[in-house]
Structure 1
Amino acid sequence: MARRRKGRALDGVLLLDKPKGLSANQALQRARRLFQAAKAGHTGTLDPMATGLLPVCFGEATKFSAYLLDADKRYQARVQLGVATDSGDAEGQEIARADVPVLDEVALEAVLTRFRGEIEQVPPMYSALKHQGRPLYELARQGIEIKRTPRQVTLYDITLMEWDPDTQSLLLDVTCSKGTYIRTLAIDIGAAIGCGAHLTMLQRLQTGPFNSEGMLSLDALETTEEAARDAHLLPVDVLIEHLPTVNVDAASAERLLMGQKVHADTATHDDDVMLRAYEGDRLLGLVTVVKTGVIGPRRLLRTVL
C-alpha cells in the first residue's frame, strides 16, 4: 500500500479567487494540493454559486484565521425581482412569482435605506448552520423547516450600482458585518418591495484588510511554475497586523516559546492587552500583558518563521 504524503510544513496566506461551482472547502483542498501543504484552512465560507475573495491559511497561519472569520465583508450582488426560490438564490426551485411594481432609482433607494445600519436577519434554511448536529441545508433538501432565531447584523452601506428595468434586476454593493446573509438580504428586499426576489450573483470583494486586487485564481496557480507559487503567499502576521507589537531578545523568546512569562517593555499597554511578539524580525506569535513590564504566551507559533 502506498504511503500517503503528509505535505509540506508551509506557512502563509493565499488570497484565492474562488470560482463559481466549487464550495469553499473544495476550493481550499485544490489550493492545498497545488501547494502540497500539510495543513490549510479557509476564513469564511462561500456558497458554490458565489465567487471572489477566499483567504486561505496554510500551516501556522491557521492559528489566526479567526480574525478574518470575525472581520467585516464587502460584496457585489445581483438581485432578481419578481421571482422567489426555496433557497433564496438561482440554484433553488421557483416557489413564487409576482408582478414587479414600477420602480426607479429613487424608489429603490428608499427601500435600501431601511436595511442600512443594525438589522435583524433570520438565517436561511439553505445554510451551513447546524440543528442537532445536522446542517440546515440537509434538512431543507428533505423539506424539513426548522425555526431559526433572528440574528442582529450590521449593514454599513448598501449602494445601488445598477437598476435594469428590462430584466428587473439590481446590482448592489454591500459592506456588512460578519454573519450577514446576502441571500436573506435579497429575500427581504423583495418582500419590502412586495414582489419577492432571489440572488443571482454574489462576489466577495473584501474580507477585513484584504481586497480583490491581490486575488489569484486556481487556473492562474495551476499554470504557475511550482517553484514560484510560494512567492504569492503573504506572511502569517498579515492576519494580526491590527494588534500592537512588542519586541523581546533571544533569551526571552526562547522562554516564551517554552510557555514562560518574561519581562518586556509594556509601558504603553494596559493589563490583558494582546500583542504581537517579535524577536527581531521573527514573529513569535501572540502574548498578553500580565502586568506592567511582564508578558505571557497566548498563541505562539510552533515553527520559527
Structure 2
Amino acid sequence: MSVPHIKDCVLLIDKPSGYTSFDIIHRIRKTLKVKKCGHAGTLDKFASGLLIVCLGWATRLVPFVMGMDKRYIATMQLGVATDTHDSEGQVISKSNIQCTVEDIQSCLQTYFTGEIMQVPPDYSAIKINGKRSSDRVRKGELVAIAPRPVHIHKITVIDFDTACSQLTLDITCSKGTYIRALARDLGLRLHTGAHVIALRRVAIGDFNVTDAITMEQCVELSHKNSEDMRGIITPFRALGHFGIIAVKRDSLIKIKHGKLLGYDDITYVTGEPVFRVVPEGTEALVALAVKDEKGYRCKKVFIEEIDKIDTMK
C-alpha cells in the first residue's frame, strides 16, 4: 500500500555524495511505496545537492523540469587530469601551475561564457548505438561523442587557493552541461589539466537546495502530513515558469477528450508560451496547453487529476 498523502507530487531531495541518482530513486520507491518514481536530471555519484524526484503521474512532468537551468558550486583541482575528469578516475597527466586568478577569469570570460560547444565526457550516460558511452569505455572500446551546444549563463570565481591549486566556481548553465567536461576543457585552455574534486548542485530553475529534504527526512514522509514537510511541491507549482489558463469546470470534459479550448471556456490567462491549465479557483493541474489560431490546444492531459476532480463533485 502506498502512503496516501505522498503521491502525484514532486520532491526536492538533497542528495548526499556517494549515492547514484538511481540509488535515491530506489530508496524513495521502497520507503514511500510508490510504483512510479523518476528523477528530473541525474547527479554523478560523487556529487551532492538538489535532485528533483517526480512521483505518480507527476513523472510525466520530468521532461519539462529537466529543461530548467542548473546552478552548481564546483571545486576543481588544477595541475592534474583524470580519465573521468573527476576524483574517481585514474590520473592521466600532471603539470606545474603557472596561471594566476586573472588568467583564469580571462579564460572563463573568453571561452566559457554564453553558448559554447561541449563534448560530453567519455564516461557518461550518453548512448552510442543503444549502449552507454561509459559502458563501452570500460570494455576497452574507443568512443567518439559529437560536440553539442550548451549555454553558460554565468560563471564566477569564488576562490582560487594557490597553495593547493584548487579553484572553486559558481556556475549557472543550461540543461545538458557537463561540469566535468568544463573542468577538462578549462584545464586544456590553461595548459594545466584539471578535474572536479567536489560538486554540489544548488539550484534547478527557481528551486533551491535550501528548500530540499534529506533522505532521512524523506523517511519521515511516510508518517507525517505533507503540509508539515518542506520539499514537497505540487505539479502546478513545479512548473511555475509556465503561464496559467483557468477554465470553467464544465470545460473539463473537452480537455479530457482532447478538444480545443475556446475563448468562452476560459476565465483567466496569464504568461506564455506554454500554459498550465487548471479549473478556476484551484491549482489542480489538468493539462498543459499552447495557443492555437482558434483557442488553446492541450498538448498534455492529466486524466488522473481530472478524474479526481470529477469524483469530488
**What is the TM-score normalised by the length of structure 1?**
0.90
Match of 1:226 in 2: 222
Percentage identity across paired residues of the two chains: 33
What is the alpha-carbon distance in structure 2 between the residues aligned to residue 254 and residue 268 of structure 1?
18
Where does 1:176-187 land on structure 2 (aligned, <5 Å)? 176-187=173-184
SS of residue paired to 1:295: strand
Q: State the one-letter code of the partner of 2:124.
A: S
SS of residue paired to 1:186: helix
Match of 2:45 in 1: 48
Match of 2:300 in 1: 299
Residue ranges of structure 1 left out of the alignment (5+ in a row): none
Q: State the one-letter code of the partner of 1:287.
A: A
Matched, 1:206 2:208: no
SS of residue paired to 2:186: helix
Contact 1:53 1:207 in 2 (8 A): yes
Q: State the one-letter code of the partner of 1:295.
A: Y
Distance 1:289 1:110, change over 3 A: closer
What is the alpha-carbon distance in structure 1 between the residues aligned to residue 225 and residue 12 of structure 2?
12
Shift of 1:229: 6.0
Shift of 1:122: 1.0
Match of 1:243 in 2: 242
Match of 2:278 in 1: 278
Q: State the one-letter code of the partner of 2:275.
A: L
Where does 1:181-196 land on structure 2 (aligned, <5 Å)? 181-196=178-193
Matched, 1:58 2:55: yes
Shift of 1:267: 10
Contact 1:60 1:302 in 2 (8 A): no
SS of residue paired to 2:183: helix
Contact 1:82 1:197 in 2 (8 A): yes
**Corresponding residue pairs, total:** 296
What do residues 66-102 of structure 1 show as CA deviations (whole Å, max 9, x unaligned)? 112111111000100111111111000111111111x
2:28 to 23, 28, 31: 31
Match of 2:311 in 1: none
Where does 1:1-305 land on structure 2 (aligned, <5 Å)? 10-101=7-98, 103-114=99-110, 115-222=112-219, 224=220, 226-228=222-224, 230-231=226-227, 232=229, 233-265=232-264, 274-280=274-280, 281=282, 282-292=284-294, 294-304=295-305
Shift of 1:13: 0.7
SS of residue paired to 2:143: coil
Q: State the one-letter code of the partner of 1:80.
A: Q
Q: State the one-letter code of the partner of 1:156.
A: H
Shift of 1:162: 0.7
Shift of 1:287: 2.8
What do residues 33-58 of structure 1 show as CA deviations (whole Å, max 9, x unaligned)? 22222211110111101110001011
What do residues 156-210 of structure 1 show as CA deviations (whole Å, max 9, x unaligned)? 1111101111111111100111111100110111111111111111110111121
Q: State the one-letter code of the partner of 2:85.
A: G
Contact 1:7 1:38 in 2 (8 A): no
SS of residue paired to 1:283: coil
Contact 1:10 1:38 in 2 (8 A): no
Q: Which moved more, 1:132-141 or 1:278-287?
A: 278-287
Contact 2:16 2:48 in 1 (8 A): yes
Distance 1:125 1:277, change over 3 A: same
Contact 1:288 1:298 in 2 (8 A): yes
Q: Which moved more, 1:233-242 or 1:48-57?
A: 233-242
What is the alpha-carbon distance in structure 2 between the residues aligned to residue 145 and residue 152 of structure 1?
23
What do residues 217-238 of structure 1 show as CA deviations (whole Å, max 9, x unaligned)? 102223x262216333211112
What is the alpha-carbon distance in structure 2 between the residues aligned to residue 14 and residue 67 of structure 1?
15
Contact 2:3 2:222 in 1 (8 A): no
What is the alpha-carbon distance in structure 2 between the residues aligned to residue 56 and residue 208 of structure 1?
14
**What is the TM-score normalised by the length of structure 2?**
0.87
SS of residue paired to 1:216: coil
What is the alpha-carbon distance in structure 1 between the residues aligned to residue 221 and residue 296 of structure 2?
43
